[in-house]
Chain A
Amino acid sequence: MQLDVQLRHGFVSRARRGSDNAAFSLDVGFTVDARALALVGPSGSGKTTILNAIAGVFTPDQGHIRLDGMTLLDTAMKINVRQSRRRIGYVFQDGRLFPHLTVRRNLLYGRWFAPRYEHGLGLDDIVALLGIGHLMDRNPDALSGGEKQRVAIGRALLAKPRLLLMDEPLAALDLERRSQILTLIERLRDEVGLPMVLVSHDPGEVARVATSIVDIRHGRLGSIRSMPNAPSSTVASESAEIIHLPVGTHRSAHFRRSTELREVPGRP
């Protein structure tokens, strides 16, 4: 995935008398060629705003966003591709499952809009991959945080996005769930070949997933780094696994369950 982002936006703050907090402004630009990009940095530095801009939920005052040569946004040329046409999946921190639909109907929501070609992960594949078969007829509020997040990831994948955005997808989860979903994210990166942009506070998570890291500080670019994350596990991801202890068993279980998935041709 080649991602070229240039954003400038001034946020009008509700000025409090006596506080010299200037209005927050975002002014960042970066170009990366990465399979998985992580946006890191302190809270409130504008990481989620960047994700929202890529998704098309938020339009900045000025800037452009290009993904693999396609312009999604260019304020100078008055181009702003509508969110529903960008085909960018978004896994939110809070899941955001539709409360009035069952898990199954949540998963299938994007079905009408997804192109029929491209990566061949169907409902059954996704359900097996995420281990959510027993939840299909439940309502979202009967799910735990980890279950919700897995369904949210599945829902995004079934819409067949060309890019997957994830905003702290693991923040609400306990350690064990965290490592399960991390393993899943790695597999999406390596086996499905789905490009992704991740916002995270957790260094272990970033080390395992990211192939590039963009550091955002107070609305400005801090640094850009490349990570040696290869398709198979690397030193970095192994060490992260040791920290997160109970990973091994889940990991092999996941791999066993879906050997057929590897034959699915990955997207370039």
Chain B
Amino acid sequence: MEMLTPEELSALQLSLKVAFSATLFSIPFAIAAAFAISRLRFPGRSLLDSVVHLPLVLPPVVTGYLLLVTFGRRGPVGQLLESQFGIVLSFRWTGAVLAAAIMGFPLLVRSVRLSLEAVDLRYEQAAGSLGANPLWVFLTITLPLTVPGILAGAVLAFAKALGEFGATITFVSAIPGETRTIPVAIYGYVQTPGADGSAMRLALLAALVSILALVVSEAMARRMTLRDA
């Protein structure tokens, strides 16, 4: 493989930065959402379940458009974030993180939820009988037993974030070094006459990073089972 041009390299770095941030950022929210959906009984539970799964079924462009309308500089949440905290999401890499996090969120929640539902409630009862309050039971029993599901979901969400295109380009466009991730860059090169080489190199790179993520997740899974056995 030839050396990467600075432009391609920046797309790679940006993609990794966005995907890592999106995954890390969404893990706590996903755990909370999965817990609420699988363990709590409250009136809006099925609504929450539907909203969480919405990005899975909506066309990504629609998700991106909704993000732009809500979190854009003129959107209600976007205005609030800018005036109160000085945070601007639209056309910034942080916006790309938000788009990627939301697109990967259903995958992460699903995985965490399955794992959470597989945790034997009887362990939690045993912990309670030893005097542990519900929060401590959650932190020391439920959460550790859910870790395999969290990791598996995180890998899925990371892969999804790396490949995210539609919502990203709609919400934050394709600004080099800021929001032009690998998929967005590939699309750009394909549209540009004579840039086929760049498109091909980035495509290979995307495949390489994805395979690497898969290998890492396999290794993690194997280590988990070895430790459990």
Contacts and interface: CB of A to CB of B under 8 A. Distances in A.
B131 interface: yes
A96 B144 CA distance: 16
A77 B115 CA distance: 38
A109 B129 contact: no
Given A84-B134, A99-B145, A99-B228, A90 B129 contact: yes
A165 B125 CA distance: 13
Contacts of A165: 129
Contacts, number: 65
Given A57-B125, A85-B131, 12 more contacts: A55-B125, A84-B128, A84-B132, A84-B137, A90-B125, A96-B122, A98-B126, A98-B141, A109-B132, A155-B130, A159-B130, A159-B131
Contacts of A139: 228
A53 B228 CA distance: 33
Contacts of A83: 125, 128-129
B133 interface: yes
Interface string A83-109: 111011110101010111000000001
B132 A113 contact: yes
A55 B122 CA distance: 13
Contacts of A88: 129
Nearest to B126: A96
Which among B131, B134, B141, B144 has the greatest number of chain A C-beta atoms within 10 A? B131
A98 B129 contact: no
- Classify chain B's interface size: 20 to 34
A241 to B, nearest CB: 30
A5 to B, nearest CB: 18
16 contacts: A55-B129, A57-B125, A83-B125, A83-B128, A83-B129, A84-B131, A88-B129, A90-B125, A90-B126, A90-B129, A110-B131, A112-B131, A113-B130, A156-B130, A159-B130, A165-B129
Contacts of A98: 123, 126-127, 141
Interface in A129-149: 139, 141
A113 B131 contact: yes
B3 interface: no
Which among A82, A85, A94, A110 has the greatest number of chain B C-beta atoms within 10 A? A110
B125 to A, nearest CB: 5
B57 interface: no
A49 to B, nearest CB: 13
Contacts of A96: 122-123, 125-126
Contacts of B131: 84-85, 87, 110, 112-114, 159
B60 to A, nearest CB: 38
A266 B136 CA distance: 30
Contact of B132 (A92, A110, A156): A110
Contacts of A141: 228-229
B133 A84 contact: yes
A56 interface: yes
A109 B229 contact: no
A57 B144 contact: no
Interface in B80-139: 122-123, 125-134, 136-137
B126 A92 contact: yes
Nearest to A56: B128
A89 B126 contact: no
Interface in B176-208: none
Which among A87, A109, A141 has the greatest number of chain B C-beta atoms within 10 A? A109
Which among A98, A113, A139, A155 has the greatest number of chain B C-beta atoms within 10 A? A98
Nearest to A97: B126
Contact of B144 (A82, A100, A110): A100
A100 B130 contact: no
Which among A90, A96, A156, A159 has the greatest number of chain B C-beta atoms within 10 A? A96
B134 to A, nearest CB: 7
Contacts of B125: 55, 57, 83, 90, 96
B228 A109 contact: no
Interface in B126-179: 126-134, 136-137, 140-141, 144-145
Nearest to A82: B133
Contacts of A56: 128
Contacts of B137: 84
A96 B125 CA distance: 9
A87 B130 CA distance: 7
A87 B133 CA distance: 11
A244 to B, nearest CB: 28
A156 B130 CA distance: 6
A57 B144 CA distance: 22
